[in-house]
Structure 1
Amino acid sequence: MLPQETIRQKRDGEELSAAAIGEFIAGMTAGTITEGQAAAFAMAVYFKGMSRAETVALTLAMRDSGDVLDWSDAGRPIVDKHSTGGVGDNVSLMLAPILAACGAAVPMISGRGLGHTGGTLDKLESIPGYQIRPDGRRLRDTVRNVGCAIIGPTGDLAPADRILYGIRDVTATVDSMPLICASILSKKLAAGLETLVLDVKFGSGAFMTSIAEAEELARILAGVANDAGVRTSALITDMNEPLADAAGNALEIANCIAFLKGEKKGTRLEAIVFALAGQMLMQSGIASGPTEAETMARTVLENGQAAETFARMVSALGGPADLLERSSAYLPEAAVILPVPASADGFLSACNAREVGLAVIELGGGRRKPSDAIDHSVGFSRLMPLETSVRVGDPIAFVHARTASDAEKACAALNASYRISADPPEDRPVVTGLV
């Protein structure tokens, strides 16, 4: 079919066949379809939408635009998770080694920071020598020998997504649900997954601010992924405050190491890690039910197997072999570290987590434009959770900055992002639903 006919049909609200979608994506990848035609297609989809069948066809066509990894000889269930993004969300760093220690294979394709949210790849680049884009042989060897590898997408995995996303970014067509689904899922499916769990967040630090929006996105993503042949479910989780007690790249790596050493018990972070681990272990058939799944995950954390797996992954991908023992010798440290004093007596009752993420970017821990370099040392540590009782001057966090001036601005921004009230807030569950 001529590309202009495909564009016309979608412009007029007609349903496209899987063959027409496949031809269009193949032509876009090969360069026989122009950027103008691809932009027109994206705009037509933006205004007219796509049926579930069309979205599945688009996802599969984008998956098949490059290599699709084959793990048939791995001897383990192939699992992964995807988060829709948040502040202090370093779950992947702990979750992958926990799952690997329980017997799963986790080829985790991760991304960089987007907007106010942090990126797993940016965090991993805090580790000297860590290769976020290893060659194919090293990736396979790491997954086979260690059980997990957290890396970035290569040019050979779903290249159509890279092309189409670049066009969407400059044509105001990013916010299209079918295009969002195909973008997220094509890369995950190209990694050769058997099962996938989604962490769909809502709240002040998430892209979806309400539970209803998060549930809608979760239903669409899970439905399309299941129809595309990957067993998928989604947890709905709260992002109305930073998830970890750290926000910033090297600081979140340090937080991960502390978690793997058993130092973050009873936190919201622990609750989400175990909820995701349990769902993934059951969905992959490694565990038969929630009690067994949680017991397995807790056991490998408490006996040190998860920490050992993380250390082996870091070493296999080029990082230092003794990172867990000597993290302070490797992770960059900011020149200025200051407490952020509470501005009033009372309870930390609310937080604008998005503003916390933006404050990290202002410190230099994120990008204003793609070419910006990141300062991996800056951010916030020891962030107090909501419901904490404080008095004037008590530290609610510590800021890590390049200069005293930067630190002062960040202190003011962090204080402005929290509300202190006379009464404690209502307790909120961190996991609110399963799709």
Structure 2
Amino acid sequence: MSFAAVDIIRAKRDRKELSDAQIEWVVAHYTAGAVAEEQMSALLMAIYLNGMTPREISRWTSAMIDSGVRLDLSGVGRPTVDKHSTGGVGDKISLPLAALVAACGAAVPQLSGRGLGHTGGTLDKLESIRGWNPMLTPAEFINQLSRVGAVICAASADLAPADKKLYALRDVTSTVESIPMIAASIMSKKIAEGTDALVLDVKVGAGAFMKRRDQATELAKTMVTLGSAHGVRTTALLTDMSTPLGCAVGNAIEVTEAVEVLAGGGPPDVVELTLSLAREMLSLAGIDTDPAEVLASGAAMDSWRQMISGQGADPDFVFPAPRETHLVCAESAGLVTRMDALAVGVSAWRLGAGRARKEERVQAAAGIMCLVKPGVEVAVGQPIFELRTDTPERFADALSELADAVTISPAGTAFTRTPVVLDTIRG
């Protein structure tokens, strides 16, 4: 069946529900280049303004999956379960989590991306390990998944190619903040990768894409419904991103912090979220194992070392120190009651830890160490942040982002710590 793109645009502009055939046609023809960029731009804006029904979202997701290949992981020999985070500041959870869940007996087939703006990318973090290879062939991907139980790498070009085109177009047409399109983008790639089950980490707060809890809940429910409808057992955790996660915000320093968790240490919030996600993943995989015991045993560290060496790098690699550092100190004494995740993330980006355009390179050593966190009392002159970069001319812009990032209240001020996990949404 053939359609005219302008008729589909008009229908959605007038708040009509698109048919399955219309959705399949427009996604396929846009991916093939037969629907013009300006036409898809107009349709995306109509969707942004008028939304989509659950059926439309499900069919749009299916059409994006069908634009490429769907991996077959049936020969891996373990139950497969993946995790996806909507992105935050200091979010290095994938690194210890994949190794931990693999050590518990599941297989974690994680296809990840690079960071854009203030949220870091998992591939950027791992590429700070010299020699680590993010580009695996399908045979290499399946082999490591079967042998080690965990692989983190870049998605191939033939996996949901419609999403790649649509993502870039949404970015330049101010239509990114569309829950139907966000859900379809995330879920099309995760369903296409062939995993049996999926746990979503939906961030909410200042440093997250979703600032409000009602938005995050709607997105989580939409994605859980999509996963279930496409045969993927799916759960979502709503997690706090008002404060940076852990102490390290950057690339190499986040890898270091992840390894600390695998070694039995690390910041309490990182450990808590890693274990919470691991429990959900193992439950969906049908594995009755306590991940806390496995983490304490050192088995997860063994999986990490195999995962890193399996992709060409030395797990004992020592990261080079940044060329320059700068301390930001408390100007008053009292209790730290707020640390704005967005301000810290943007500051780390300014230091070179992130990129404004996809083609830019990031600095492995750049970033910020949060030397205190909310709930801690500080003295005048006590260091709060350590800024790191190889290009000291970046300090001025980074410092301006941190000007109002921290609130220090009088000592004795009542303080209630926000839970790491806010809610759980199951299918």
Q: Structure 1-normalised TM-score?
A: 0.92
Deviation at 1:238, TM superposition (A): 0.9
Are positions 1:58 and 2:46 aligned together? no
Alignment-derived partner of residue 341 in structure 2: 353
Distance 2:233 2:278 in 1: 15
Structure 1: which 5+ residue stretches go unaligned?
Answer: 288-292
Determine the structure 1 residue equivalent to 2:179. Answer: 177
Counterpart contact for 2:129–2:317, Cα < 8 Å? no
Aligned-pair distance for 1:190? 0.8
Q: What corresponds to 1:290 in structure 2?
A: none
Moved more, 234-243 or 23-32: 23-32
Whether the 8 Å CA contact 2:81–2:284 is kept in 1: the answer is no
Which ranges of 4 or more aligned residues in structure 1 deviate by more than 6 Å?
none
Q: What count of residue pairs does the alignment treat as equivalent?
A: 421
How far 1:156 sits from its partner (Å)?
Answer: 1.0
Contact 2:332 2:379 in 1 (8 A): yes
Cα deviation digits, residues 301-359 of structure 1 (max 9, x gap): 11111111111111111212xx2xx342xx23201234332221111110111010011
- The amino acid that maps onto 2:335 is F
* Structure 2 residue aligned with 1:425: 415
Tell me the equivalent position of 2:306: 312
CA distance in 1, matches of 2:385, 2:293: 31
* AA in 2 matched with 1:367: R
- Higher mean C-alpha deviation, range 363-372 or range 134-143: 363-372
Instruction: Determine whether 1:367 maps to 2:355.
Output: yes
CA contact (8 A) 1:231 1:283 kept: yes
SS in 2 for 1:15: coil
How many angstroms apart in 1 are the aligned matches of 2:277 and 2:311?
A: 25
Per-residue CA shift, 1:348-384, capped at 9, x if unaligned? 1101110100111111111122232211101112532
What is the rounded CA distance, in whole Å, between the counterparts of 1:307 and 1:299 in structure 2?
13
Structure 1 distance, partners of 2:350, 2:395, is 10
Q: Residue 300 of structure 1: which of 294, 297, 303 is its match?
A: 294
| In the alignment, structure 1 residue 336 sits paired with structure 2 residue 338 | no
**CA deviation after TM superposition for structure 1 residue 149, in Å:** 0.7
Corresponding residue to 2:101 among 91, 99, 102: 99
Moved more, 339-348 or 74-83: 339-348
Deviates more, 1:111-120 or 1:232-241: 111-120
Deviation at 1:405, TM superposition (A): 5.2
Q: Report the Cα distance in structure 1 between the residues aligned to 2:385 and 2:378, rounded to whole angstroms.
A: 12
Instruction: For 2:243 and 2:380, locate their aligned partners in 1 and report how far apart those are by CA, in whole Å.
Output: 21
Task: Give the 3-state SS of the residue equivalent to 1:317 in structure 2.
Answer: coil
Cα pair distance change 1:24/1:277, threshold 3 Å: same
Letter in 2 for 1:14: K
**For the Cα contact (< 8 Å) 1:25–1:61, is it kept in 2?**
yes
Could you tell me which runs of 5 or more consecutive residues in structure 2 were left unpaired when the two chains were aligned: none
Change (3 A) 1:262 1:408: farther
Q: Which amino acid aligns with 2:272?
A: A
C-alpha separation in 1, matches of 2:223 and 2:286: 22
Aligned equivalents of 1:251 and 1:378: distance in 2? Answer: 8
Q: What is aligned with 1:2?
A: 3
- 1:8-407, aligned counterparts within 5 Å? 8-264=10-266, 267-287=268-288, 293=289, 296-320=290-314, 323=315, 326-328=316-318, 331-403=319-391, 406-407=394-395
SS at match of 1:308: helix
Q: How far did 1:386 drift?
A: 0.9
Aligned-residue offset at 1:48: 2.5
* 1:254/1:327 contact within 8 Å kept: no
Cα deviations by residue, 1:228-247 (Å, 9 ceiling, x for unpaired): 22111111111111102100
- The CA deviation at 1:23 is 2.3
Cα root mean square deviation, aligned: 1.8
Q: Is the 8 Å Cα contact of residues 198 and 235 (structure 2) preserved in structure 1?
A: yes
Contact 1:138 1:317 in 2 (8 A): no
2:114–2:120 Cα contact (<8 Å) kept: yes
Report the AA paired with residue 37 of structure 1: Q
When normalised by structure 2's length, the TM-score is 0.94
Q: Which moved more, 1:143-152 or 1:339-348?
A: 339-348
SS in 2 for 1:247: strand
The question of whether the paired residues in 1 share the 8 Å contact of 2:100 and 2:294 is answered with: yes
Contact 1:3 1:33 (C-alpha < 8 Å) held by counterparts: no
Q: Structure 1 CA distance, aligned partners of 2:135 and 2:102?
A: 20
Cα distance in 2, alignment partners of residues 371 and 197 from structure 1: 30
**Farther off after superposition, 37-46 or 157-166:** 37-46
Equivalents in 1 of 2:332, 2:209: separation in Å?
A: 30
Alpha-carbon displacement from aligned partner over 1:268-313 (angstroms, at most 9, x marks no partner): 11111111111111122112xxxxx5xx211221111111111111
Amino acid at match of 2:304: F
CA 1:167–1:401 in 2, change beyond 3 Å: closer, same or farther?
closer
Whether contact under 8 Å (1:387, 1:424) holds in the other structure is: no
> In 2, Cα distance between the equivalents of 1:382 and 1:226?
39
- The answer on whether the counterparts of 2:89 and 2:341 sit within 8 Å (CA) in structure 1 is yes
Equivalent position SS for 1:50:
coil
